[in-house]
Amino acid sequence: MILRQIHHQWALALLLLSLHGVMLWGFDSTLTKTLLLSHYGLFLLWQPIWRGEQKLSSGSALLVLAGGALLLLAVNWWVLAFWQAALFGLLGGRVFSTEEKSPRAGYLIAAAYLLAMLVMWVVPKLLNHAQDNAATFYMVEYVMPLLPTSLLLLPSGIRQRTEAPALDFFYSLLLFLLALILVMGSFIIAVSSNTQYPDALMRMLFGIAAILFIMSWLWNPRAGFSGIGQLLSRYLLSVGMPFEQWLNRIAKLAEIESTPVEFMSAAAAEVASLPWVIGGSWHIPESTGEFGTPAAYSASFDYHELKLTLHARQPLTPVLMLHIKLLTQLLGEFYEAKKREEALREQSYMRAVYETGSRLTHDIKNLVQSLNTLCTAAQSAGREDADRLMGLIQRQLPLLNRRLELTLEKLQAPQAENFRQLKTATWWQSVKQRYATIPIAFSSRELPAGSEVYAEVFDNVVDNLLQNALEKARNERELHITATLSDSNGPYLEVCDDGSALPPAVAHQLFKSHIRSENGLGLGLYHAARQAQRVGYTLTLAENRNGAVRFVLRRDEKSQLAVGMQAGEEHVDAKEGESRHQ
């Protein structure tokens, strides 16, 4: 790689030296023709446009041959002036695209040499003033060759490269045009005003400097002016159309349309409104669409699952290609967002179905457990217990029937949950009767006559807690289960057992999310806690240690306040509805 850099630097030095010989000795002799041909060959070795291992097309090969023929057969000072301006532009572009110090210094020296020879020797030759100044001739003959010769002595860069450095075509074109303006302006001023060439050159230099100063001052934003740089960037991004307005319309479409297919159909209509688009097509996994009419010039871009093809009236420039790529990426991002939105909506629906089904499953499971209790009582009862069994069945069957009806109502309208209230003493008596044949210690204290509970909520909580405790008793013998109800400051339910403590991971996630469990404490308590929260109660694990695992259902003052406010709002809405109806 270092050897290649050395050859590159030597080729630059030799092509400048051969060009210097041509400028110094003229174009008529065989020696200068040979030097000119050598100069062109060295330029082909040095040139930064085509890489050495690249295979030239037939058109590029013809262009190379035409350039060589022009230099050999039609060379004059005007051709040489344009050629030196082009070389100056190429070297200037390499200066801006090179970061290493040694090659950058070499390019600066070479560019300075070309510009100096252009204004000191070539333009005076165009004006036939080259012989007027002996000092200039001395400088060109003895001093100026030292600049390209110094390139042979400069150290080459040692950083390894995997590919050739890029050429900045924008800066190359800008410097080429500046060199041409300097040459043509000096020539025109000197000829038209019949002034000396140094005066014309100074006028052009000061004029170009003033214009560059004004352009640099206007390039950055000023008070009340956004700056030429921002205006140019905005134009390149929008290609004649306000980019912000188009993006705003696409964002509004993303809010209005509900599915990805509908969004892409509407977005395609917006794309068709662009002034340089006459047709196109789009393709996504769900659908395909076309708009406008086909044309000879088109461009296709893919972004994730979106493929967009646009047809234009004219050949697509690099700026338009960049614009289409950005446009495709924006549409692709909005399309992906609509897909995620649709997936989230589907997941929300499936989660609602799953939670409703799991909650109703647990309700039916509790009903089945209650029926099993009644069946067990009926199977174990003797003839002398027939009257007591009949009374138990008469009291429990209507309650079970009511609970089953409520479960079916939830299945038909999952969101409409109207919890009925029941006297606390009556509800507690029905619970004790349901579990009369199971060794559970029930106790109660301070149950006022007017106290009421939400029967469905408390049934769901107590059934889940007791069934989990009974499931636990199958693995832990001599487990004692107690259930206590009090109403000192609102209904207070407590279920406790003296078995082993719950694992810390389970205790931490309890009531917060679904827990995978084969022996209870899974979905039931999670839904029971959420149901209790809707009516202003909170279900917690108050104690968790070996010998004392205690669950508590109590009134939550904050939740009660929120439930009361919601109920008040619903009452006011109902009153307003009745008033409007009247």
Burial class of residue 307, CB neighbours in 10 A (0-12, 13-18, 19+): middle
User: DSSP secondary-structure letter at 259?
Assistant: S
Query: Which residues in 446-481 are b (16+ Cβ under 10 Å) and which e?
Result: ebeeebbbbbbbbbbbbbbbbbbbbebbeeeeebeb
Q: Which two tokens stand for residue 320?
A: 């338009």
Question: What is the spatial distance between Cα 355 and Cα 347, in angstroms, rounded to a whole number?
Answer: 12
SS3 542: strand
Q: Which two tokens stand for residue 218?
A: 């206007």
H helix or E strand, kind and range, residue 386: helix 386-412
Taking alpha carbons only, the member of 233, 208, 231 closest to residue 218 is: 231
Confidence at residue 355, expressed as pLDDT on a 0 to 100 scale: 65
Question: What is the spatial distance between Cα 507 and Cα 484, in angstroms, rounded to a whole number?
Answer: 22
Tens digit of pLDDT for each residue in 262-283? Answer: 888 888 888 887 777 888 999 9
DSSP 13-69: HHHHHHHHHHHHH-SSSHHHHHHHHHHHHHHHHH-SSS-TTPPPPHHHHHHHHHHHH
Confidence at residue 550, expressed as pLDDT on a 0 to 100 scale: 93
Contact 104, 134 (CB under 8 A): no
Domain ranges of the chain: 2-50+62-219, 236-349, 419-582
Torsion of Cα atoms, 49 then 54 then 56 then 57, to 10°: -110
Q: Scan for tokens 């890489």, then name that residue.
A: 51
Confidence at residue 574, expressed as pLDDT on a 0 to 100 scale: 41
Query: Which residues in 225-248 are b (16+ Cβ under 10 Å) and which e?
Result: eeeeeeeeeeeeeebeeebeebee
User: DSSP secondary-structure letter at 295?
Assistant: -
Contact 16, 40 (CB under 8 A): no
Q: Which two tokens stand for residue 525?
A: 């308590």
Residue type, 365: K
Query: Which residues in 263-283 are b (16+ Cβ under 10 Å) and which e?
Result: bbbbbbeebeebebbbbbbbb
Confidence at residue 552, expressed as pLDDT on a 0 to 100 scale: 92
Confidence at residue 27, expressed as pLDDT on a 0 to 100 scale: 81
Per the rule left: phi > 0, alpha: psi between -120 and 50, beta: everything else, 281 is beta
pLDDT tens digits for the chain (582 residues)?
Answer: 444 445 677 888 898 999 999 888 888 788 888 888 888 888 888 877 666 556 767 777 788 888 788 777 888 899 899 999 999 988 887 777 676 677 778 888 999 999 999 988 888 888 887 555 677 888 888 899 999 898 888 775 544 444 445 567 778 888 899 999 999 999 999 888 888 888 888 999 999 899 888 888 877 766 556 667 666 666 665 555 556 677 788 888 888 888 888 888 888 888 887 777 888 999 998 889 898 888 888 888 888 888 989 888 878 777 678 777 888 888 888 888 888 888 887 777 667 666 666 666 666 766 776 777 767 767 766 666 677 667 767 766 776 776 677 666 666 655 545 567 888 888 888 888 778 778 889 998 877 878 888 888 888 888 888 888 888 888 888 889 999 998 877 888 999 999 999 888 888 878 777 676 555 555 678 778 888 888 889 999 999 999 999 999 988 866 554 444 444 444 444 444 444 334
Tens digit of pLDDT for each residue in 521-555? Answer: 556 787 788 888 888 899 999 999 999 999 999 88
Question: What is the spatial distance between Cα 362 and Cα 143, in angstroms, rounded to a whole number?
Answer: 101
Burial class of residue 380, CB neighbours in 10 A (0-12, 13-18, 19+): exposed
Confidence at residue 181, expressed as pLDDT on a 0 to 100 scale: 92
Largest CA distance in the chain: 145
Confidence at residue 286, expressed as pLDDT on a 0 to 100 scale: 85
Q: Scan for tokens 């050897």, then name that residue.
A: 3
Confidence at residue 363, expressed as pLDDT on a 0 to 100 scale: 67
CB within 8 Å of 270: residues ≥ 6 apart: 246, 249, 250, 253
CATH top-level class for 419-582? Answer: alpha beta
Confidence at residue 579, expressed as pLDDT on a 0 to 100 scale: 43
Confidence at residue 161, expressed as pLDDT on a 0 to 100 scale: 46
Q: CA 191, 197, 203: angle at the middle one, nearest 5?
A: 90
CB atoms within 10 A of CB 217: 11
Question: What is the spatial distance between Cα 527 and Cα 511, in angstroms, rounded to a whole number?
Answer: 8
Give the total residue count for the chain. Answer: 582
Confidence at residue 417, expressed as pLDDT on a 0 to 100 scale: 56
Contact 95, 60 (CB under 8 A): no
Confidence at residue 332, expressed as pLDDT on a 0 to 100 scale: 87
Contact 355, 529 (CB under 8 A): no
